Structure 1
């Protein structure tokens, strides 16, 4: 049942990013966490023009206000650590120019000694797309596909050549190159995204919302991969967003990963039985400060390993 464990880095506005990100990253690696993760929310519309995940009337969580840039956060963590993998879960890729995103990820991988994991998605916020100005929301899937193409080209041998809708590289030397091929992790929540994952991705990056649901999704991914004739293994890194409470949650309506450290570890053990590679926990803005986040991360890691996870 042993799996890799990772930790979400502090990005919320209660943190002092320049001080707390290196501090937490260094401590997490010393505790034993094998990966460090960031996610992207580019802005917080006020008033909100659409609900969370595009669902009408569902408010955005307050934690999304003033969230630190993911790649700057990951760069701070890279400079403070030596071994931990550095993951995005997810980077809303079409908010970024394809060429510049490929260069930034390649440079970060080279600088960190080959530790970047590029978890890419299309997002859901119309406001973010309007602000970024790269492409309309309606074209997000097409833009993500071009980004995948540009990354492979830019990370590959020189001279780089590419002709796309947004990106045109006649013939150029582009560096630095990644220390190794950067694994690209993708979601799989629709037929189109599942096809993209199986045909073009290296790994799958779901959110844990219950054992039965996650197991069914993983089976769907494997079945579709077999149907498409994929023989290369699909890596997995599962995002966990715990609703941590200092005391055990004793309500009948308790959701997976809601409650005390012991309850979170119990749920983690059940999910680990599915046979996935890695789980990483992002406590969001629940901790009051970096000290509390480090203490919580240490307690949970020790409890998880003591439970055989």
Structure 2
């Protein structure tokens, strides 16, 4: 099976122009043969955060979080200038959004793009962002479950209705409907998250994971799927990879997807062996502007093709 490749769109930091650079990257991905383009979600960079970044003790929040463009606005820009690539989120922090409004926005984006949306969702980790959005951090798991319920209702046949904790609407016509079935991918690696995944989702969307960890969690997903009688082959795996290319090989210990072009291609081959169906290559944080980002995307695409992945 051929490894699919996605490209992260340049929405974070201040060196990119939201309009011209996002559209240039999206067009390049479409022309270079990438399968998808992706966005992330980050609301803010608090000066005195309640949590360390990614909940890693002592890790400060990255400076590029000072400016991260809205993910759905970014995907809309990409949709307008592309014809083929899928449009994915890795990830939308679901509980930060009012469920009905997010489900309707995703359905509309899928309709106008011709059925190209991939809804990657997670619960996030920042209590600052939950406070800013007026959302309850303690009930984030239940909120994500409700969002999934609401999406099923809004994207399904009319009349649609739902009665939940945050969302209540009587039988109604809700359109436009998605052009097709929107795949739902869920993030998270804890057992609770993986149990939700095998019950509710089409695939798994891990981030910053090495290939040994990927293989181990894929095995756990297979076990949990078997417990409920689901074929694990029906669950895709899309890995978000923060790529940092160097001119020379990195000696000694290195982070996965960091190093020379040859080393990164080796990591991609390892990811495929570990169970990845698609890898989202994100170079926006390590590139010095849009031209370098596109050049890296081209080099990676060509190297992966030459390697027969």
TM-score scaled by length of structure 1: 0.96
Structure 1 residue aligned with 2:15: 14
8 Å Cα contact 2:122-2:188 kept in structure 1: no
Whole-angstrom distance in 2 between the partners of 1:275 and 1:44:
34
Deviation sequence 1:3-55 (CA, Å, 0-9, x none): 11110000122100111111110011101101001111111101333201223
The 4+ residue runs of structure 1 with deviation greater than 3 A are: none
Per the TM alignment, residue 290 of structure 1 is displaced from its structure 2 partner at its CA by: 0.9
The runs of 5 or more residues in structure 2 that have no matched partner are none
TM-score scaled by length of structure 2: 0.96
8 Å Cα contact 2:36-2:87 kept in structure 1: yes
- For residues 1-309 of structure 1, the aligned pairs below 5 Å read 2-12=2-12, 13-133=14-134, 135-207=135-207, 209-231=209-231, 233-250=234-251, 252-309=252-309
SS in structure 2 at match of 1:46: coil
Aligned length: 307
8 Å Cα contact 1:150-1:162 kept in structure 2: yes
Greater shift, 15-24 or 280-289, is seen at 280-289
Whole-angstrom distance in 2 between the partners of 1:274 and 1:308:
17
The runs of 5 or more residues in structure 1 that have no matched partner are none
Per the TM alignment, residue 280 of structure 1 is displaced from its structure 2 partner at its CA by: 1.2
Per the TM alignment, residue 207 of structure 1 is displaced from its structure 2 partner at its CA by: 2.4
8 Å Cα contact 1:6-1:279 kept in structure 2: yes
Greater shift, 99-108 or 65-74, is seen at 65-74
Question: RMSD of the TM alignment (CA)?
Answer: 1.3
